[in-house]
Amino acid sequence: MIMKSIEFLFNRIIPKGFPSGSMILIVGEPGTGKTILTSAIANYELERGRRILFISLNEPKEDYMRTIERFGWRFDESRFRFIDLFAVGREAFDAQIRLIIEEFAMFNPDLVVIDSITALTSLIDPEFVRSFLHASLGSMIKKRGAIALLIAEKPIGKEEIGFGVEEFVVDGVIVLRFVKYGEHYRRVLEIPKMRRRRIEKPHYEYTITNNGIEFFEIPILESVEEAWTEKVTTGIPRLDEMMDGGVYRGSITVIAGNTGTGKTTFGIHFTYSNALRGKKSVFVTFEESVESILRAMRSYGMEFDGVRDNMIIVSLIPESESPINVFVKLKDIVEKENPIAMFIDSYNSLEGNMDENELSKMVRYLQLMIREKGIATMMSLNVDGRVKELPQTGLSTLADNIILLSYDFEDDEMVRKILILKSRASNHSKRIYRFEITPSGVEIHDR
């Protein structure tokens, strides 16, 4: 898998998890997901039968419980104790500190969360907070062998952490950051400090999904690659013959050609024909509306109503998304629909709106998901000038199959041509064929 759940944090990022008796500072700018990360950790611990004491100064209990329900988490209140200090004033806080100490002694938690230390230091002198964390809470945590997660706000645009007192009394620091790439931001988790644990890679990208926090990792391709031997139809019988029976599941086919050569039409054949055979297919367009695709289908006599349950058409706007968010949306579609065939139109729409390095990473994630799920995938690529070879892009190096579409003018008529430049592990045709786009779609001719 490319995206990992919170278990990945403890199995890979921090091997063996947080050290017992430790205090961990989780710091980040507003919106980086600090509370979601700590709640995901709390859910992970609750599922293992442990007790959680959650002390909130940032939001009342009702708001917090609504937040975690968005991710499908239901906390058993016999093992989850929530202390609501959201509305407590400065004058009453000494009594609340005593309450926290008493609650710890009675409830005997395995994990304590304070959300947030920043809010706490706004009510109490920072030196008193430091003394409380070190002498009182720290002592109880170590004696119990529990873990404390201390959330702190990092001012936007500044590197210092909170009020400058928390980092001196903690055993580990996790920093959540926004990193700007072009017009978009991505979320990054960093671990600059973790006592008693060896952190091999202190930097991971993550995102917030309906499942909570999910981390990205690029595994070794061979570790996820399946030996898919099943082929699926391209949707065009003559093209199937040219490609030795179609395209393999888990493969990427690039359809490259000039504007007007019919790349989108090939994609419509691919997804529609597989849907007609009862297989789930997805048509993703970054250039057209869903209605435009439906109109093209109708012009070729392809009735969408007959494949509605098996063919999903999705229109996305790449300008409004980061590369990672585009991948997450594609991943959500794949996990929901479990398709055999997918067409993406087009790579150029992504390329024109994304940082080159970030786009390459997204395409790599996409390739790994396609391999893992066994999705036969086609992607269109627009090429300027004469089409003799595939331009060097992040996509070209990952393609299993390459189909080149071009046109010439002969006797004052436009003649479309097709060549299978590459088809991995297949005895594909090496000839150039003519083809037409007719009222029933693509027709390929021998001459």
Same domain as 229, residue 209: no
Q: Are residues 284 and 207 in the same domain?
A: no
Whether residues 268 and 233 share a domain: the answer is yes
What is d(CA 144, CA 217) in angstroms, rounded to the nearest whole number?
34
Range name among 15-29, 126-140, 151-165 with the lowest pLDDT average: 151-165
Of 90, 82, 32, the C-alpha closest to 56 is 82
pLDDT-derived band at 14, boundaries 50, 70, 90: very high
405, 261 in Cβ contact below 8 A?
yes
Q: Comparing 111 with 347, which gets the higher pLDDT?
A: 111
Q: 206 and 236: one domain?
A: no
Side chain identity, residue 358: E
The residue-averaged pLDDT of 73-94 equals 83
Whether residue 294 is found in the same domain as residue 423: yes
Q: What's the Cα-to-Cα distance from 210 to each of 216, 328, 332, 377, rounded to whole Å?
A: 15, 11, 9, 25
| Total tally of structural domains belonging to the chain | 2
Same domain, 39 and 170: yes
**Residue 274 pLDDT more than 80?**
yes
CB 175 within 8 A of CB 33: no
Gap between the terminal Cα atoms of the chain: 45
Query: Higher pLDDT residue, 54 or 399?
Result: 54
Where is the domain boundary, 200, 216, 232? Answer: 216
User: Phi and psi (nearest 5°) for 433?
Assistant: -115, 155
Q: What is the mean pLDDT of residues 112-141?
A: 83
Tokens, residue 388 = 């003799």
With a pLDDT cut of 70, the percent of the chain lying above it is 88
Which two structure tokens, joined as six digits, stand for 266? 């090939």
d(CA 415, CA 406): 8
**What is the mean pLDDT of the segment spanning 270-296?**
96
- Residue 235: CB atoms within 10 A of its CB come to 28
- Does 403 have pLDDT greater than 50? yes
In sequence order, what E strands does 79-202 have? 80-84, 111-115, 147-153, 172-181, 184-194
Q: Which residue, 148, 183, 216, sits at the end of a domain?
A: 216
Cα separation, 412 vs 405, in Å, equals 19
Q: Does 200 share its domain with 291?
A: no
Whether residues 228 and 175 share a domain: the answer is no
- Cross-strand pairs, 257: 382, 405
Q: Please list, in sequence order, all residues whose beta carbon lies within 8 angstroms of the beta carbon of residue 372, skipping any fewer than 6 positions away.
A: 1, 2, 224, 226, 250
Report the alpha-carbon distance of residue 222 to residue 230 in Å, rounded. 19
| Residue 347 or residue 310, greater confidence | 310
What confidence score (pLDDT) does residue 93 get? 67
Q: What pLDDT is stored for residue 223 in this prediction?
A: 47
Asked which of 27-31, 132-136, 143-147 is least confident by mean pLDDT, the reply is 132-136
pLDDT in tens, 46-69: 999 999 999 999 899 999 999 999
Q: What is the pTM of this model?
A: 0.76
> Which residues span the domain enclosing 181?
3-216
User: Looking at residue 136, which CATH number applies to its domain?
Assistant: 3.40.50.300
Instruction: Look up residue 14 and give its DSSP letter.
Output: S
Banded pLDDT at 429 (limits 50, 70, 90): very high
Cβ(374)–Cβ(341) below 8 Å: no
Single residue among 155, 186, 216 that ends a domain in this structure: 216
297 sits in which H/E element: helix 290-299
* Number of neighbouring beta carbons within 10 Å of residue 144: 17
One domain for residues 30 and 105:
yes
Same domain, 345 and 424: yes
The C-alpha atoms of residue 112 and residue 141 are separated, in whole angstroms, by 8
Same domain, 269 and 412: yes
**Residue 287 and residue 411 in one domain:** yes
Length of the chain, in residues:
447
Report how far residue 2's alpha carbon sits from residue 330's, in angstroms, rounded to the nearest whole number. 13
Average pLDDT taken over every residue of the chain: 87
Q: What is the pLDDT of residues 198-212, one digit of tens each?
A: 998 888 889 888 889
